[in-house]
Amino acid sequence: MSNQMIANITLKKRTFKVNLNAPLDLSIPIRGTGRNVNAWYADPPRITPYREGEFVASVSEGASINFNDIYFNPHAHGTHTETLGHITAEPCSINKQLKKYFSLAEVITIAPEGHGEDRCISRIQLEYALKDKDCSAVVIRTLPNTGQKKTRHYSHKNPPYMLEDAAQYLVDRNVQHLLIDLPSVDKEKDEGALVAHRAFWNMDGKKRMDATITEFIYVPNKVLDGTYLLELQTAAFENDAAPSRPVLYKIMKDE
């Protein structure tokens, strides 16, 4: 019996086939341990049984069910997708803004360049990697790419980030969804400038309400650069950001 579930998808006025039984998951899960990925000086996430008096909601401790409390920050503790509400005074919920879940995505691999004491993604690098690709989403894998990205603690480490003109280039290309394997598209300590976020959401013009930024992804090395179908789903949180699970599907070649 075939394990393929073939779907015909039309995006960007193109129709192509994908096997929905062969997803490529780009998410980093949240674990209640100190080995969880971490940034922004946050304590590790906690996943603990609910307690009330002497009652502990854990089967291993005699209860009939497991019933856990979970404490985490979506920006600090795993793959998350955010809307411009991340940097606005007025609330803007990712649960209300993200309503279309499938996009044509381009996966690109970039080695951030030296920029003073920093390492950055530049506009020239994006221009070279994307060329004339017509896509609604860009998935950026940075080098070096090791499994340590799934457990690394980034606080006070000045990780690579995206330059403002690189973010503006994606806006010029009408890229709606930016996905990256870093804790932020902006410099860790920038005195609140957030220039890449601001550029991508066009905060000084007509704001891009339906544009999203997804951070803390992990793109396995087996996922080759190229064009994919992206499914981007978030947990239903009324918040500027929510945990997310971006999944890629290979586009099948015509036989």
170-228 pLDDT, tens digit per residue, is 999 999 999 999 999 999 999 999 999 999 999 999 999 999 999 999 999 999 999 99
Contact status, residue 27 vs residue 244, Cβ threshold 8 Å:
yes
Q: pLDDT digits over 22-56, tens only?
A: 999 999 999 999 999 999 999 999 999 999 999 99
For domain 6-29+76-252, which architecture applies?
3-Layer(bba) Sandwich (3.50)
pLDDT of residue 1: 44
Q: With cut-offs at 50, 70 and 90, classify the pLDDT of residue 9.
A: confident
Domain range annotation of the chain: 6-29+76-252
| Residue 255: pLDDT over 60 | no
What are 254's two structure tokens?
């015509």
pLDDT of residue 12: 82
DSSP assignment letter at 42: P
pLDDT of residue 75: 98
Report helix angle 123-130 to 164-172, nearest 10. 40
Furthest-apart CA pair in the chain: how many Å? 64
pLDDT of residue 253: 80
Q: pLDDT digits over 113-132, tens only?
A: 999 999 999 999 999 999 99
Provide the β-strand partners of residue 139. Answer: 107, 179
Q: Give the burial class of 144: count Cβ atoms within 10 A of its Cβ; 0-12 exposed, 13-18 middle, 19 or more buried.
A: exposed
| Residue 13: pLDDT over 90 | no
| Residue 85: pLDDT over 80 | yes
CA 123 to mean position of chain CA atoms: 20
